[in-house]
């Protein structure tokens, strides 16, 4: 990654010097088709930038990453490309007050999902293009000033192969063989976009009568590859889109500002989605090729609404620099769930948020690399890594608390003022806090210091004292913090008391655990008494942070923990139950509960879980506990118990239900014995012996069954080739590549390692698939030789490959399955001896090393449990 890392200081200097008036960009994409891929394939990019300089005579630079530059002119002077272009920057000397820069370049098509990505569909040979820029890859497509605070209007034109359609941020039309697009409002470079190719395109429209009596009309479009058209449920995409537009218009009092609203589902996408105004891009896996559960549709709806929220938080008003990335991502993450719960059919979205999204935040906030929500982002590599669980999920959780702290009406009124005051501009933390202080009357500076400008997660534990009559004499909430981040924060929490129905002698089933008392309290400092609950009947379960109002780790008193061990499945409220599961998982990760105990709870109570999203998370946690946290000598026993339990639940689930499908996938994930693998084979073959009524073994489920069969040597290369012939699609190819790399052979592992580490022949999607197949929990011995090799090659990989591929390799190939002190020593040795390594690379290694150390602590706890 040579010479491409723009620093914050450089960006500040350039923003103080330059202001951009407009861009005109002309691309010729006809080279996307025809010819061969023997040589790097390029396209012509001609950019004209009109800009002002505050200091005539000054020197600056434009950004461009391209194989070659044909011509450069500045204010009519032809410059020598060889003298002013170094591969990533164009030197601009002796600037005038008013300037015009023209750069004619040959830019490269990408195979890494960065810049202009080119994909050839193996199913029909068609070529599809799309762009992905965040944080700084538009410079791979056209020359620009690549930083968020140098906004400008853009005018684009594109020459494309005959028969193609091209989409961009503005409305386009084909004029004399050239796609010409309406000019944009002032936007940042990273949210400009192109999508081009023979895509399947569906249209609709959204209309709304605004308060001033005018009618707002927004053309809607949704597109995907032709090969996915038969699976594309565009009607549901449009339904959620319209519901979201209604919600945001109702609450933001600022009409959608970017004209049309296209949503493109594109192949080999690195992210979930990207908020390009007027041309949002999504990973095409949100088009479901097979049966999926309600949780998958909920996840897609959440992403659609997350990106829509960005049209205001991020696109209309944009952060000055990536330090304040939370100003867009935290808000979009919060508003995605907020709007989904209130405007769509997914009314239980806060359950998913509490159980799933916040788990991402808790993990990130306990890593050595944790950072305040408002982070210190020194350069673009830092920015790339900061799209993390703190910026997204912790930020969203803190905003959820802010709504409770400031009040819903004050929060939304603050947002409305923020949009109107800063439309098409750039902001910092103080700009948002100012309007929230106006509308709420609260001291936002103090709140910000505690929640946005410090790192770490607090733990809240109840302490219950009973009087002689068995009533609550005093209930106290104890707050703790890690030594590394000792900040104790103010929390607005609800404390719920639970007991069995009928436990007080009244009528009831005597089984269900229900809440009979609740109090809200401001927790501040190490010890807070909840006076309102004094005199209440003795609880069987005390749930701190009931209703999930704050961001914290929940702990339990011993009596509550005993109740959960016996009656977790009896909690009737799905949010309360999800919060308890999340708390138990945190106890497991923190080595305060043996991992085998957590697995035992999953085996006992997961079959009663009604929320399908929670169930899927429980399966993932149980598998993680088995792979990393149980004592090594108990792994075989734990795996057998999980497989038996999964098969039992699969056979007893309602035919054709989403629970049946979820248990089928989990059974495949934990199957390892000959008997388990035989069941998978029989399900694939459709034999009567393994038939499970209602289970549709569609193509996606077939691949899910084939991976464990491949990993255990049952499905060989011929079987996988036959399956690819059955599913000769881009999705099928990814599945096949993952299964091929999963086979239990030293030669297979050597080949997988070489094609990822020593070669750049694979696309981003196939790199990811190969890495996924390489790391198999059942193949620790086969992967062992690569532990030391990993530390020998990662610095070279980081220097030679794009940052996306570098991240994939460094994260994905870390030897986490070699769970021993020896591997920790290798990591520590590398960190000690590589003081000059790129900070972003060091961060990735530090994080992986910390996960490994946590796993070893968990195993030590579990050994103690096993006697």
Phi-psi region of 651 (alpha: psi -120 to 50; beta: other; left: phi over 0): alpha
Output the pLDDT for position 155: 98
| Residue 556 structure tokens | 């339990």
What mean pLDDT comes out for the span 493-503?
89
Work out the average pLDDT over 547-563: 96
Please write the tens of the pLDDT for every residue from 208-244.
998 888 999 999 999 999 999 999 999 999 999 999 9
What local confidence, expressed as pLDDT, does residue 38 receive?
A: 64
Helix, coil or strand: residue 572: coil
Average pLDDT over residues 819-830: 97
Residues composing the chain: 867
For residue 693, give both structure tokens: 């009524």
pLDDT band at 508 (very low <50, low <70, confident <90, very high): very low
- DSSP bridge pairs for 142: none
* Alpha carbons within 13 A on the beta-carbon side of 816: 26
% of the chain exceeding 70 in pLDDT: 98
Nearest-CA neighbor of 62 among 48, 77, 78?
Answer: 48
Chain segment 371-428, per-residue pLDDT in tens: 999 988 999 988 888 889 999 999 999 999 888 888 899 999 999 999 999 999 999 9
pLDDT digits (tens, 9 = 90+) for 330-375: 999 999 999 999 999 999 999 999 999 999 999 999 999 999 999 8
Find residue 529's DSSP bridge partners.
476
Average pLDDT score over residue span 569-576:
96
Give dist(CA 278, CA 778) in Å, integer. 46
Other Cβ atoms within 10 Å of 564 Cβ, number: 24
Average pLDDT over residues 434-446: 92
**pLDDT of res. 596:** 98
CB 81 within 8 A of CB 74: no
381 carries an active-site annotation: no
Cα angle 479-482-485, degrees, rounded to a multiple of 5:
105
User: What is the arithmetic mean of pLDDT over 17-33?
Assistant: 98
| pLDDT score for 456 | 96
- Confidence label for 505 from pLDDT (cuts 50, 70 and 90): very low
The confidence score (pLDDT) of residue 507 equals: 42
Task: Examine the pLDDT at 503 and tell me if it is beyond 80.
Answer: no
Mean pLDDT of 579-608: 97
Residue 2 has pLDDT above 60, yes or no: no
Whether the predicted pLDDT of 845 surpasses 50: yes
pLDDT recorded at residue 213: 87
| 73 CB neighbour count, 10 Å cutoff | 14
Pairing of strands 215-224, 261-266: parallel
pLDDT score of 63 more than 60: yes
With a cut of 90, say whether residue 3 has pLDDT above it. no
What are 631's two structure tokens?
């004592």
- pLDDT given at position 386: 84
DSSP string, 127-194: EEEEEE-TTT-GGGTS-B--STTS-B-EEEEEE--TT-EEEESS-EEEETTEEEEPPPPSB-GGG--E
739 pLDDT higher than 60 = yes
Q: Report pLDDT digits (tens) over 250-309.
A: 999 999 999 999 999 999 999 999 999 999 999 999 999 999 999 999 999 999 999 999
| Mean pLDDT of all residues in 689-707 | 93
Q: Is the pLDDT of residue 504 over 80?
A: no
Structure tokens at 694: 């209602």
- Check pLDDT > 50 for residue 133: yes
C-alpha to C-alpha distance for 397 and 337, rounded to whole angstroms:
11
Q: Spot the catalytic one: 307, 413, 609, 707.
A: 307
For 683-689, the CB contacts below 8 A with 24+ separation are: 684/709
**CA–CA distance, 352 with 578 (Å, rounded to integer):** 8
Please state, rounded to an integer, the average pLDDT across all residues of the chain.
95
DSSP β-bridge partners for residue 542: 497
pLDDT of residue 834: 86
Residues 395, 526, 514, 611, Cα dihedral to 10°: 30
| CA distance linking residue 255 with residue 737, whole number of Å | 46
Mean pLDDT of 530-538: 97
Separation of alpha carbons 260 and 181, rounded Å = 12
């Amino acid at each position: 990654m040579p010479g491409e890392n723009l620093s914050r200081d450089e960006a500040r200097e350039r923003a103080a010097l330059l202001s951009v008036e407009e861009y005109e960009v002309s691309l010729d994409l006809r080279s996307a088709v025809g010819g061969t891929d023997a040589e790097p394939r390029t396209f012509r990019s001609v950019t004209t930038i009109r800009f002002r300089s505050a200091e005539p005579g000054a020197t600056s630079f434009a950004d461009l990453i391209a194989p070659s530059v044909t011509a450069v002119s500045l204010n009519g002077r032809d410059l020598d490309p060889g003298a002013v272009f170094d591969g990533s920057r164009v030197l601009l000397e002796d600037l005038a007050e008013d300037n015009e820069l023209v750069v004619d370049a040959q830019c490269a098509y990408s195979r890494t999902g960065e810049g202009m990505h080119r994909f050839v569909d193996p199913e029909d040979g068609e070529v599809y293009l799309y762009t992905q820029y965040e944080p700084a890859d538009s410079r791979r497509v056209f020359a620009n000033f690549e930083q968020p605070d140098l906004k400008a209007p853009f005018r684009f034109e594109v020459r494309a192969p005959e028969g193609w359609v091209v989409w961009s941020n503005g409305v386009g039309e084909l004029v004399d063989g050239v796609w010409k697009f309406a000019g944009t409002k002032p936007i940042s470079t990273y949210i400009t976009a192109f999508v081009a190719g023979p895509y399947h395109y569906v249209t609709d429209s959204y209309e709304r009568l605004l308060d001033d009596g005018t009618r707002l009309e927004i053309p809607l479009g949704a597109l995907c590859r032709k090969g996915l058209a038969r699976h594309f449920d565009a009607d549901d995409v449009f339904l959620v889109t319209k519901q979201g537009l209604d919600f945001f218009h109702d609450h933001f009092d600022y009409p959608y500002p970017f004209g049309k609203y296209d949503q493109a589902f594109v192949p080999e996408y690195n992210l979930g989605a990207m908020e390009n105004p007027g041309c949002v891009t999504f990973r095409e896996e949100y088009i479901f090729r097979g049966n999926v559960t309600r949780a998958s549709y909920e996840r897609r709806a959440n992403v659609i609404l997350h990106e829509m929220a960005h049209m205001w938080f991020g696109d209309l008003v944009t952060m000055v620099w990536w330090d304040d990335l939370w100003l867009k991502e935290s808000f979009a993450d919060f508003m995605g769930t907020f709007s989904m719960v209130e405007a769509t059919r997914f009314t239980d979205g806060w359950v998913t948020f509490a159980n799933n999204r916040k788990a991402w935040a808790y993990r990130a906030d306990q890593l050595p690399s944790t950072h305040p929500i408002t982070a210190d982002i020194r350069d673009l590599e830092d920015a790339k890594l900061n799209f993390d669980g703190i910026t997204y999920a912790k930020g969203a959780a803190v905003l959820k608390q802010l709504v409770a702290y400031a009040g819903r009406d004050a929060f939304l009124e603050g947002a409305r003022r923020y949009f109107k005051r800063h439309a098409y501009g750039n902001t910092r933390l103080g700009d948002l806090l100012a309007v929230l202080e106006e509308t709420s009357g609260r001291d936002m500076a103090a709140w910000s210091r505690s929640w946005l400008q410090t790192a770490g997660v607090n733990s809240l534990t109840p302490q219950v004292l009973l009087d002689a009559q068995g009533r609550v004499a005093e209930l106290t909430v104890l707050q703790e913090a890690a030594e590394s981040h000792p900040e104790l924060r103010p929390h607005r929490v609800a404390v719920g008391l639970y007991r069995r129905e009928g436990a007080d002698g009244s009528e009831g089933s005597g089984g269900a655990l229900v809440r009979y008392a609740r109090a809200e309290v401001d927790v501040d400092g190490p010890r807070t008494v909840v006076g309102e609950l004094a005199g209440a009947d003795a609880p069987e379960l005390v749930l701190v942070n009931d209703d999930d109002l704050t961001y914290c780790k929940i702990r339990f008193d011993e009596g509550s923990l005993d109740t959960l061990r016996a009656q977790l499945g009896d909690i009737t409220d799905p949010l309360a139950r999800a919060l308890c599961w999340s708390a138990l998982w945190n106890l497991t990760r923190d080595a305060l509960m043996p991992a085998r105990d957590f697995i035992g709870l999953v085996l006992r109570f997961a079959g009663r879980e009604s929320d399908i999203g929670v169930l899927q998370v429980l399966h993932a946690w149980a598998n993680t506990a088995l792979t990393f946290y149980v004592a090594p000598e108990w792994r075989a026993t734990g795996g057998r118990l999980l497989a038996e339990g999964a098969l039992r639940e699969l056979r007893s689930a309602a035919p054709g239900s989403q629970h049946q499908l979820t248990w089928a996938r989990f059974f495949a994930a934990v199957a390892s014995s000959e008997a388990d693998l035989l069941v998978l084979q029989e399900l694939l073959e459709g034999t009567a012996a393994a038939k499970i009524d209602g289970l549709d073994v569609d193509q996606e489920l077939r691949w899910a069954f084939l991976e464990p069969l491949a990993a255990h040597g049952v499905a060989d290369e011929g079987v996988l080739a036959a399956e690819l012939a059955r599913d000769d699609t881009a999705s099928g190819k990814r599945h096949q590549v993952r299964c091929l790399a999963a086979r239990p052979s030293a030669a297979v592992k050597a080949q997988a390692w070489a094609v990822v580490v020593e070669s750049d022949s694979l696309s981003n999607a196939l790199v990811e698939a190969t890495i996924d197949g390489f790391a198999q929990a059942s193949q620790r011995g086969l992967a062992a030789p690569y532990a030391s090799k990993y530390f020998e090659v990662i610095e070279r990989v980081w220097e030679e490959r794009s940052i996306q591929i570098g991240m994939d390799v460094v994260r994905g190939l870390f030897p986490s399955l070699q769970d021993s002190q020896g591997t920790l020593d290798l990591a520590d040795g590398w960190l000690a001896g590589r003081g000059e390594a790129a900070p972003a690379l060091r961060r990735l290694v530090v994080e992986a090393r910390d996960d490994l150390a946590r796993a070893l602590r968990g195993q030590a706890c579990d050994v103690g449990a096993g006697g």
